Amino acid sequence: MAMFEVRIHSRGGQGGVTAARLLALAAIRDGKYAVAFPFYGAERRGAPVVSYVRIDDHPIRVYSQIRNPDLILVLDPSVMDVVDVLQGMKPEGRVLLNGSEPRDMKGFPTLAVDLTGIALREQLVVAGNPILNTPVLGALAKMGIITLDSAKAAIREMFSDERNITAAETAYKELTV
Amino acid sequence: MTEIPKDEYIFKCTSACAGCSDSLALRYVLKAAGPETVLVIPACCTSVIQGAYPNTAMNVPVYNVAFAAAAACASGMSAAFRAAGKKTHVIVYAGDGGTVDIGIQALSGAFERGTDFLYICYDNEAYGNTGMQRSGATPAGAKTTTTPAGKEENKKDLDAIVAAHNPPYMATACAAYPKDLFSKVQKALSLRGPKFIHVLAPCPPGWRYSSEMSVEMGKLAVRSGMWILYEREFGKVTISGPSKAAMIKPVPLEEYLAPQGRFKGISKEAIAQLKSQAERNAGRLKKEADGIC
Amino acid sequence: MLTVATGNKAVASAVKQACPSVVAAYPITPQTEIVEQIAEYVTSGELKSQYIAVESEHSAMAACIGASVTGVRTFTATSSHGLHYMHEMVNWAAGARLPIVMANVNRALGPGWNIWAEHTDAFQERDTGWLQVYVASVQEAYDATLMAFRIAEHESVLLPVMVNMDGFLLSHSMQPLQNVDIGDFIPPIHLPHAIDTSHPAGYGTLTGPEDYFRLRWDMERSMRDSVAVIRETQEDFAKRFGRKYDFVEEYRCDDADVVVIAMGTLGKEAEVAVDLLRKEGLKAGSMRIRWFRPFPHLDLSGRDVVVIDRDYSFGFGGVIARSLAATERVTPFSVIAGLGGQEVTYDDIAGFVRDRRPGEELWFGVNGNV
C-alpha cells in the first residue's frame, strides 16, 4: 500500500488530536507504520483545528503537513463554513462526515455517521462535549482503514470506560459503506 | 548557654580585609553548624575570602555558584541530600546584593517551595566585592560609588519580604553579638524547612571607619535602634536581649553615623528619614512581639 | 512494548527508565509535556525522584547543578527562551563538569513570539561545553535520552548532554515507540568530584589564568574523548536493543554526486527528497548531522553540497553551512529554511538540490523560491 494520508477537521477541544492518535495507534496494532500530528497554531478552544495521520507499510520520514489527503474526516461540519476542507484532496479521495446524512462534497465519495448521536446515546460526554474520537474509530474500521479489532485495542489502551467500545461498535454497525 | 565549640572551620589564612565582620560572622555560623555542612556561596566577598584555587580557607565543602543562583542551587543540593538519606546542612551564605537584588527571585522560590536549608544574608549594605556600589540594602543617606551624593531611597525591607513566605524560623543577628548569632544558627538548623538569618555585617572599607571598630559599629547599630535583633519562630516575634535594652534607652543615632565616612555630610532630611524608618521597624516589631497586630 | 507516544512523552519515558534522583524544571511551550509527565510519574510513585518545581529556568539549572555536585543523577528540560534564561548556568554546569542531561525542544526566539521549530536556540549554546545531539523521530528521542545519561556520566566525559528535538514536529508528533527495559545499560553514577563533607574542598573558587586555562583544556580534552564514548555507547545500544545510530546518518551517499545536509526532522524529510531525485536520475544522497557537539567529520570530498540551516548567525551565515565550509573545506549551497517553523517539504528540498548554486545563500521563501 502507498502511504495513506488522513486530515481531520474539528474544533479545539473536540478531540481531533486524540482521534488522530487513536487512528495511528490502531494502524500500528494492525502491523503498519503510522504517525499522528496536530497542526499547532495559536488556536484556543473552539477554533477550527486540523490534525493529520499518515499510515504506511514502511517507516514514515515525511514531517511536512499533509497537502493531498486520501481521506478527509470532518468531526464538526460547522467548520466547513469557514474552512475549505476539500483543499488539496486527491482525485480518488474520500470524505467521512459526522452527521446523519451525507452531503454533496463536490462529487467526492462521501459517507456520514451520526457520531454525536451515538456519543449522546452512550452518555459519552465530558465537560459538556460529546466524545467523538472513540466512535469514529468504528466508522474508520468499517471503511477498511483499520481493523475493528485494532480499533478496539487502541481505544482500550487509552480509555478504560467500555462505553467507548460500545460506541465504536455502534458506529461500525450504523455506517453504510 | 551552650558552650561555643573550639573547633574552627575557617583557617587563619583568609584573604578578608582587616576587621571584616563577614568572616567573623561566618566563623560562628560554622561553629554552630559543625562539620556536616555544605556552604553555597554566590558571588560576594566570601567568594574571595575563602582563598584562591587550589587552596581553600574553609574546613567544610564550599560550593561557589553564580550571583543569582544560590538559593536555587541549595534547593537542588538539599533535595539530593534528602534523596540520598543524608542530613547534611545546606547553608547559603550570601551578601546583600546577592540576596535583596539579583538573588531575590531564587530566594523567594526556594522559600515558597519549602526547601530544607538555611539562608544567611550577611549585609554590609552595598556591593562590597566590587568596591561599594549601592544595593537595595543600602540605607538612605549613605554614600556609595554609585550614590556619591548619598542614597535617596530607604533600605529595602528584606525581612518583611522573607516573613511574607511564612518560614518556620527567621531571625536577625549581628557579627558584634557572636553568642546571639551562634544560638540563632543552632536553633534554625534544628528545624526543617526554609530558615533565614539576616546578619548585619559592618564593613570597614565600605562604611569608611577604622578597622578595629567593627564590633563597636555593630553594637552601635543595635544600641541606636538602626538594627534590631529579633527572632520570628513560626510567626511569633521575640525581640532579642540587646535590642530590648536599646528600645528602652537607645543611644542617639548620630553616635552610630558619626564614625562612618559613608554618612559624612549627611543631610538633616536623610537623618530624619533613617530615624523614621528605624522607628517604624521598631514599632511594628514591638507590636508583633506583644501580640498586637 | 510498541506503543504510540509524542516526542515529549518519549523523553519522559526514557527519564523514568534512567531514574534521576533529582529533576528540576520549569514549563515552557513546547516542552511542558515532558515536565508534566515526569511530575505525574513522581506523584504516582513510578519514578522515585525529587521533583523540584522551580520558579525559573535559571533556577532549574542551578538546582540541577546543586544536586549533581552531590553525586546524583539529574535531569531537566527546556526550550528556546527558557534555555537562554538559564544560559549563565548552562555554562556553569559544563565548567563544573557535571553530567546533567537536558532535553531541549528546539523553538524560535522572540520577538515576535513564535513557538515553532528552529535550531538557533541550542546553536547559541554551542560554545558552553555541552554535548549536543539532535534527533529526528520519537523513537530516537527516547533512545538518545537513554544514551545521554551514559555518555554524560562516563568517567572520561563528565560533561552535560543536551538532547534536542524539533518543537511540535517531534515534541507533539505521535509516532511508534518501542520502550525497552534498559537493564544495566546505564551504570550507577559515580562522580569523582562529588561533595564529601569528610573531605572538604572548595568548588569553583577564584581561579587564576594558568589553572583556568588548564581546566578549559581539560573540558576540550573530554569533549574529544567523548567521541569514543559516544561510539561505544551507540554500538552497545545497537547490540542490546537493535537500533543503530551514528554521528551522522547517511542515506544513499555511497555513489552520490550531490549530498544534502540537514538536522532534525528536515534531515529525515531530505531522505524522501533524495528518493525523488534518484528517480529523476540525479545521484543524490543525504546526511543528517546528529551530533553537533562534538562536531563530526563528514566525507564530502568531490561532491556538491547543499546545506539546509534551520538557524542563522546574523552577519555570518547558516551555522552548519559555515561550519562545514571551515571544517571540510567545501563550498556549499547554503539554504536557510524552516525558521520559526516554516513549512519545508521534500519537494522544496528536491528543488534546493536541483537548482543548487554552490557558494550562494538562499533564504527560502524570502529571496525567491527555487
User: How high is the pLDDT of residue A2?
Assistant: 86
For residue C67, give the nearest of B76, B88, B109 by CB distance. B76
The residue written with cell numbers 552535560 in the block is C160
How many angstroms separate the CA of residue B13 from the nearest CA in chain C?
15
Cell numbers at residue B284, please? 511594628
Contact B80 C54 (CB under 8 A): no
A-chain residues near C252 (CB < 8 A): none
The span from the CA of A165 to the CA of B81, in Å, is 48
Residue of C nearest to A153 (CA): C3
ipTM score assigned to the predicted complex: 0.96
The structure's pTM equals 0.96
What's chain C look like in SS3? Answer: CEEEEEHHHHHHHHHHHHCCCEEEECCCCCCHHHHHHHHHHHHHCCCCCEEEECCCHHHHHHHHHHHHCCCCCEEEEECHHHHHHCHHHHHHHHHCCCCCEEEEEECCCCCCCCCCCCCHHHHCCCCCCCEEEECCCHHHHHHHHHHHHHHHHCCCCCCCEEEEEECCCCCCCEEEEECCCCCCCCCCCCCCCCCCCCCCCEECCECCHHHHHHHHHHHHHHHHHHHHHHHHHHHHHHHHHCCCCCCEEEECCCCCCEEEEECCHHHHHHHHHHHHHHHCCCCEEEEEECEEECCCCCCCCCCEEEEEECCCECCCECHHHHHHHHHCCCCCEEEECCHHHCCCCHHHHHHHHHCCCCCCEEECCCCCCC
**Percentage of residues in chain A having pLDDT higher than 90:** 83
Asked if the C-beta of B84 comes within 8 angstroms of chain C's C-beta atoms, the answer is yes
The count of domains in chain A is 1
The span from the CA of B121 to the CA of A76, in Å, is 60
Burial of A45 (0-12, 13-18, 19+ CB in 10 A): exposed
For residue B80, give the nearest of C54, C70, C205 by CB distance. C70
Catalogue all structural domains in chain C, each as residue range(s) with its CATH number: 2-241 (3.40.50.970), 250-363 (3.40.50.920)
Contact C89 B69 (CB under 8 A): yes
Q: Class of the B21-289 domain?
A: alpha beta
The answer to whether C337 touches C310, Cβ cutoff 8 Å, is: yes
Q: How many CB pairs under 8 A join A and C?
A: 62
How many angstroms separate the CA of residue A28 from the nearest CA in chain C?
7
* Touching chains, A (3+ CB pairs < 8 A): C
User: How high is the pLDDT of residue B292?
Assistant: 80
Q: Which domain holds residue A131?
A: 4-174
Interface-testing mutation among A64, A137, A159, with chain C (most C C-beta atoms within 10 A) = A64
The span from the CA of C61 to the CA of C74, in Å, is 10
Asked if the C-beta of C207 comes within 8 angstroms of chain B's C-beta atoms, the answer is yes
> Average pLDDT in the A133-143 region?
97
Contact A34 C173 (CB under 8 A): no
Interface-testing mutation among B46, B53, B105, B108, with chain C (most C C-beta atoms within 10 A) = B53
* Touching chains, C (3+ CB pairs < 8 A): A, B
Contact C50 B58 (CB under 8 A): no
At A58, which CATH number? Answer: 3.40.920.10
pLDDT digits (tens, 9 = 90+) for C314-343: 999 999 999 999 999 999 999 999 999 999
Interface-testing mutation among C175, C274, C364, with chain A (most A C-beta atoms within 10 A) = C175
- DSSP, residue by residue, B67-82: TT-HHHHHHHHHHHHH
B-A interface (Cβ pairs under 8 Å ≥ 3) = no
User: How high is the pLDDT of residue A14?
Assistant: 84
Task: Flag whether pLDDT at C99 surpasses 70.
Answer: yes
Interface-testing mutation among C19, C54, C55, C73, with chain B (most B C-beta atoms within 10 A) = C55
C-chain residues near B112 (CB < 8 A): 55
Asked if the C-beta of C209 comes within 8 angstroms of chain B's C-beta atoms, the answer is no
pLDDT digits (tens, 9 = 90+) for C221-233: 999 999 999 999 9
**Percentage of residues in chain C having pLDDT higher than 70:** 99
For residue A40, give the nearest of C2, C172, C175 by CB distance. C172
Residues contacting residue C220 through CB under 8 Å, at least 6 positions apart: none
pLDDT digits (tens, 9 = 90+) for B121-140: 999 999 999 999 999 999 99
**Percentage of residues in chain C having pLDDT higher than 90:** 98
C-alpha torsion C20→C26→C27→C33, nearest 10: 0
Confidence band, pLDDT 50/70/90 cuts, at residue A42 = low
